[in-house]
Amino acid sequence: MLVFTFMAVSCAIIIILLSLTGNANIIEESIFGKGSIDHTTYSKNAYDRVITDNAESLAYKVIREWDGTEQKFSSSFTVYGVKGGYKNQYEVRSYGAGYKHTYLATKINGSFSGSGDITNSVVLETGADSIDSLVLMDGNATFRGRIINGQTGRPVTESEMDAVGELVIRSYLNITDIPDTPEDWLEFCKTLEDRLPSGLMIKSEGNSSG
């Protein structure tokens, strides 16, 4: 889903490409020019938002590709000549393998560049869910970043960053979540049994032969 609002935009070039051929689906959008925009892109595993207020120059591009087992999301944004405030911001989020990866730059002042490259895939044979997420930000702004682990059902913040200033930031997340199988539990029980004192054993439920 693409949502965008243009406010007093001048000299803007907007390109939207939609491809639904074969097994691959692609949405590509580019915006170049100067002025004020509020643009949001949504997908199942990624999100970005760009806001500018009377920018002297801006360039934004987003590409979404997806098929039955893999989704890719690529976002890039560059802006010059903005003067801070909450109307100048860039945000990237990704979700997958039970994790959430999010970075936000607000009150952008002067020049700024940022990008997000995200790939989410599922292996049908094993049910393994993988997320590969890279976020880059470079500029003068107020920054907020979080990596949250929700694999156990209760979200746990594993990394958090809050900063103000002219900074270069790189945040990378690569996680694979492999579902437990009966074989995994049998191997766990065998390993645990090997560590028990002599004469003790783990008895499976319903096993009357031991």
Q: Which residues are CB-neighbours of 206 under 8 A, at least 6 positions away?
A: none
Phi, psi of 53 (to 5 degrees): -125, 105
Give the residue from 179, 73, 92, 93 showing the smallest Cα distance to 129: 179
For 156-183, b/e burial (b = at least 16 CB within 10 A) is: eeeeeeeeeeeeebebebebeeeeeeee
Give residue 187's pLDDT: 62
pLDDT of residue 152: 83
Instruction: Tell me how far apart the alpha carbons of residues 60 and 50 are, in angstroms, rounded to a whole number.
Output: 8
pLDDT of residue 124: 77
| Cβ neighbours for 29, distance < 8 A, ≥ 6 positions apart | 2, 14, 15, 16, 17, 41, 61, 62, 63
Which positions of the chain have pLDDT values less than 50? 10, 207-210
Q: What is the pLDDT of residue 190?
A: 63
Task: Return the pLDDT at 210.
Answer: 45
Reference 173, options 114, 129, 130; nearest CA is: 130
Distance CA 146, CA 48 (A): 15
Whole-number pLDDT of residue 81: 98
Per-residue pLDDT at 92: 99
Measured in residues, the chain has a length of: 210
Measured distance CA(101)–CA(130) in Å, rounded = 13
CA 131 to chain centre: 8
Report yes or no: 164 and 144 within 8 Å, Cβ to Cβ.
no
- Give CA–CA dist 174/182, Å, rounded: 26
| DSSP assignment string, 149-190 | E-TTSS-EEEEEEEEEEEEEEEEEEEEEE----HHHHHHHHH
pTM here? 0.79
Q: What is the pLDDT of residue 107?
A: 98
